[in-house]
Structure 1
Amino acid sequence: MMERKRLILIGVCGLMVASALISAIRRQPGSRPEESAEYVAPVPVPESRFSPRQRPVAEYNAARSFSEAIADAVEKVMCSVVVIRTEKQQQVIQPFMPGWGRIVTEDLAGEGSGSIIDERGYVLTSWHVIDGAKWIEIVMNDGSKMPAQEVGHDQATDLAVLKFEPKQPLCPPMEFGDSDKVRVGEVAIAIGSPFSLQSSVTVGHISQKGRRVQILPYEDFIQTDAAINEGNSGGPLIDVDGRLIGVNAAVKTEAEKKGVGIAFAVPSNLAMRVAKSIIETGKHEWPWVGCFFQTTGAKYKDLFEGAGVVISDVFRDTPAARAGLQTATAVFAVDGISVKDEYDVKRIIFNKTVGEKVRFLLLLGGERREVELELEEFPGITLY
Structure 2
Amino acid sequence: MTHSTVVVTGLGLLTAHGRGPAPLLTAVLAGKPAFGEVRRFDPGRSRVRAAATLAGTGDLTAEVVAVVADACDDAGLAGLRAECPLFFATGTGTSVVRAGGSGNGPAELAATVARRTGLSGVARVYTSACVAGSTALAEAASMIARGRCDRAVVAGGFLVDADHQALFDAGRALADDGAVRPFSNGRRGMLLGDAVVAVVLESAAGAQGRGARVRSRLAGWARAGDAYHVCQPDPGGAGMASAIRAGLARAGVPPEELAYVNANGTGTTRADAAESSALRAGLGAAAGSVPVSSTKSVHGHALEASGLLEFAVTALALDAGRLPVNAGFVEADPQCPVPVVREPGPMRGRWALSCNFAFGGANTALVLGAA
Range class of TM-score, shorter chain: under 0.3
TM-score (normalised: structure 1): 0.19
The structure richer in strand per residue is 1
Larger radius of gyration: 1
